Amino acid sequence: METMKQYIDDAEAALLHTYNRYQIVWDKGDGMYMYDIEGKKYLDFVAGIAVFALGYNNKAYNDALKAQIDKVIHTSNYYYNIPAIEAAKKLKRISQMDRVFFTNSGAEAVEGALKAAKKYAYLRDGSTDHEIIAMNHSFHGRTMGALSVTGNPHYREAFEPLIGGVKFADFNDFDSVKAQVTSKTCAIIMETVQGEGGIYPADEKFLKNVRELCDKNDILLILDEIQCGMGRTGYMYAWQKYGVKPDIMTTAKAVGCGVPVGAFMMTEKVAAQSLTSGDHGTTYGGNPLACAAVSKVIDLFEEMDILNNVKQTGDYLYKKLDALAAKCPAVKAHRGIGLIQGLEFDKSVGGIILSAIDKGLLLINAGANIIRFIPPLIATKENVDDMLAILEESINEN
């Protein structure tokens, strides 16, 4: 067997260098832990970037995928398949939306949401010069449409011109949003909890004001729940905490718990007046394997009472991080909800994360000076205590 260094050297010689990866080659995962090819064990507070909600090596999940592999993996959308029908019905129920379109990723879900909003406005008035309002510091993906509404100029600059008619407002600043609205505005898009931008939950009043603004002007509200959705806030989707329902919503990451799958969903009103046959498509989206994963994930969320665990463990994590922030001068702020939280430091957190990895704890950042806590949703209070012991040690070393 090759050594860790040999595998990494092989990867660097073969893969396009678009990631600055940590120097680890994974072998397997189990529960809350990952194991590298040398057998070292790591407590995981990253979950594949908020993906592996059920933890690693969940037998019921694995068995459902194995059973579907033995039946059929792919059929195309020229036909119906039972896993897609079952997954769509379950997704409708937990999301409270009316229509589902399965994608292969979160970025693709955002692309579809933008197309639906533009088609809705086009059918309403026949114009093609509509505008979209997005938020500064947002992140919606790397494809051209998703990148166009991502509120970080650094990500966009090299790839311009992107899609036109996008304006940026400040998240949680209603006056800023209102100032960007014109007669051409067709949609407002935002994350219900900003993830990559620094773990900023929406203010309830802000979200309700934006919803009212959209209703008054026939503007569609698109909520991106790719990272903060699927139980991460203690609600199946974060907007349900606020009672502010979107017209269009995106989901991915934990909806498949490791299988590449996402979806955009919409109300019946939008579905009846937007995308129709021939307007949008995907070869792999909604294939039986991906949808078998979605279907089983939703079942297991309910069987394992995941939402209740997130609320309890999330509250415990919040108190513990608050206590750490109070005694650590380098910590400037603590934000978040459920199991999506962040600590903002007065310096880069790269050294802290590397120290933690060395001690067997996986953490990631959200921006240069924020540590993001997005563990599997099965995390316990004991896992939080173990994480904090290593984190505090790592902070003291840096």
Band of pLDDT at residue 346, cut at 50, 70 and 90:
very high
CATH of domain 4-54+305-397: 3.90.1150.10
Percent of the chain with pLDDT over 90: 99
Percent of the chain with pLDDT over 70: 100
pLDDT given for residue 268 in this prediction: 98
pLDDT given for residue 87 in this prediction: 98
Residue 278 backbone zone (phi > 0: left; psi -120 to 50: alpha; other: beta): left
Q: How far apart are CA 190 and CA 119, in angstroms?
A: 19
- Running DSSP on this structure, what letter comes out for residue 357? H
pLDDT given for residue 2 in this prediction: 86
Q: Determine the 3-state secondary structure of 88 from DSSP.
A: helix
pLDDT given for residue 359 in this prediction: 98
Return residue ranges of the chain for CATH 3.40.640.10.
60-303
What is the architecture of the domain spanning 60-303?
A: 3-Layer(aba) Sandwich (3.40)
Q: How far apart are CA 78 and CA 199, in angstroms?
A: 40
Q: How far apart are CA 205 and CA 138, in angstroms?
A: 19
**What is the arithmetic mean of pLDDT over 358-383?**
97
Distance from the first to the final alpha carbon of the chain: 35
**What is the arithmetic mean of pLDDT over 30-59?**
98
How many CB atoms are closer than 10 A to CB 375?
A: 29
Band of pLDDT at residue 185, cut at 50, 70 and 90:
very high
Give the mean pLDDT of the chain: 97
Q: What is the pLDDT of residues 7-25, one digit of tens each?
A: 999 999 999 999 999 999 9
Q: Determine the 3-state secondary structure of 305 from DSSP.
A: coil
- pLDDT tops 80 at residue 165: yes
Return residue ranges of the chain for CATH 3.90.1150.10.
4-54+305-397
Q: How far apart are CA 271 and CA 279, in angstroms?
A: 12
- pLDDT tops 80 at residue 290: yes
**What is the arithmetic mean of pLDDT over 34-58?**
97
